[in-house]
Structure 1
Amino acid sequence: MTTITLYDNTHLTGNHVVIDKDTPDLAGENFAEKAQSLEVNGDPWIAFTRKHYLGDFSVFESGKHNTIRLRNSFFSVRKTGPLKDPEITVYEDVNYQGKHQKLTSGVPSLCSIGMSRISSYKTHSGVWILYETVNYNNQMEVVPVAGDNVQDITKLTNKHILSLKPLEDCDLSNLNNIVS
């Protein structure tokens, strides 16, 4: 089973909570803004600085993380599938209609693939980061799970996705998750 254990002190000490499912609000676990270290068993987890998987995020792979960046700032956590071989199908219109494209790599501008916007999507594998503007600016959502499908993005926000990219293993080092 894939789990994340959050600790309220560094070096995996102090009070802790073991989580085995996506948790949109850590207040329900009495652990919002408390994590200072953590341990991941199984697939990676993403920790967010806002409720409902929004805000800045850090990705944590399996292992012990004695000290973490963004200590005392996590409000939600979500497990992912494997990060390798990302694939997503994006649609210009809601309900998986209109022009569509299967993607396996980042697209800094939808114009480059002949699309003007994304209004719905189906995730097949990997973790995807969706952006409101071109060139990967104004992160809107992190899509961490295969099968995480959205029929109408406009129900979540009044904006459309204009660029997206997968979060692959090579990106983890750029996130600087772990403080030595």
Structure 2
Amino acid sequence: MKRLLAAAAVLATLSHAAVAGDLTLFSDSNFHGNRVTIDRDAPNLADFGFNDRASSAVVTSGRWLLCEHANFGGRCAEFGPGEYRQLPGFNDAVSSARQVDRDDRGGRGRWRDHDRDHDRDHDRDGPRGGDRGGPDVVMFAGPRFEGQQVELSQDVRALNDVGFNDRATSIIIREGRWEFCEHADFRGECVVLGPGRYDMLDRMNNRISSMRRVR
């Protein structure tokens, strides 16, 4: 009987480990300074005394969404397992964090689109007005929606296939949340963006090589 209970305890621990992720944030680059380890959703890092303090991170397990505002609002980026010596574009600008692959395999996390209603107001100014039959995503080679463009509504494992590898400088997203990655097959650094108009892509400028819808 004791052996059965011990085995059950081990299975419960393994099951929890398979579900829960682990994220450590550091106040300085290169994993220096104060740190905080998170293993559950953190809607407000001020509760941990770590609001707008993160400059580097280590993701031990899971995929985590780091957002610039509390309650997962504002601009967000997704980070998979690995070491991030710096957080370009998010240095001292992370206010909330949540695991996005805990309840949905394939990286499609369950989170509320806090900016969706606001961004859809801007959506009507997209390349095809209010036509909901238009493309989900329009990528532009120039900033502020200028230059050559490509219209997409499905996952693209290699943007080289559509002649737009490492060319996107601005994006309009009409529908859904999309993950944009620096390498083909959704590898390397990635960022998740929801509906809206992004006139500059900051650190992902001219670096996007693949994209897929995550919600």
TM-score bracket relative to the smaller structure: 0.5 to 0.7
Structure 1 position 112, deviation (Å): 3.4
8 Å contact kept, 1:49–1:56: yes
Q: Is this contact kept in 1: 2:27–2:54, CA < 8 A? A: yes
8 Å CA contact retained: 1:84, 1:168: no
Q: Provide the residue aligned with 1:55 in structure 2.
A: 74
SS at match of 1:64: strand
Q: Which amino acid in 2 is paired with 1:75?
A: S
Contact 1:6 1:37 in 2 (8 A): yes
Alignment of 1:77-92 (within 5 A): 77-81=97-101, 84=106
How far did residue 85 of structure 1 move?
7.5
The Cα offsets for residues 31-71 of structure 1, whole Å up to 9 and x where unpaired, read as 00000001001111010000000001111110111111110
Structure 1: runs of 5+ lacking an equivalent: 89-108, 114-134, 138-162
How many residue pairs match? The answer is 111
Greater per-residue helix proportion = 2
Partner of 2:132: 111
Distance 1:85 1:12 in 2: 26
1:166–1:47 Cα change, 3 Å: same
Higher RCO, Cα 8 Å, sep 6+: 1
Bigger CA radius of gyration: 2
Secondary structure of the residue aligned to 1:56 is: strand
Aligned-pair Cα RMSD in Å: 3.1
Which residue does the alignment assign to 1:37? 56
SS class of match (1:28): helix
- The change in CA–CA distance for 1:87 and 1:46 in structure 2 (over 3 A counts) is closer
Q: Return the letter of the residue paired with 1:18.
A: T
Q: Partners of 2:80 and 2:107 in 1: how far apart?
A: 16
- Identify if the C-alpha distance between structure 1 residues 168 and 86 changes in structure 2 by more than 3 Å, giving closer, same or farther: farther
Q: 1:64 aligns with which of 83, 101, 107?
A: 83
Distance, in Å, in 1 between the alignment partners of 2:32 and 2:96 is 20
Say whether residues 1:136 and 2:173 are aligned partners.
yes
Q: In the alignment, is the contact (CA less than 8 A) between 1:86 and 1:166 conserved in 2?
A: no
Aligned amino acid, residue 97 of structure 2: V
Q: 1:17 to 1:111 in 2, by over 3 A?
A: same
**Residue 94 (structure 2) aligns with:** 74
Question: Which letter does structure 2 place at the counterpart of 1:28?
Answer: D
Partner of 1:167, secondary structure, is strand
CA distance in 1 between partners of 2:131 and 2:62 (Å): 30
Deviation at 1:5, TM superposition (A): 0.3
Identity fraction in percent: 19
SS of the residue corresponding to residue 24 of structure 2 reads: strand
- TM-score, normalisation: structure 2: 0.45
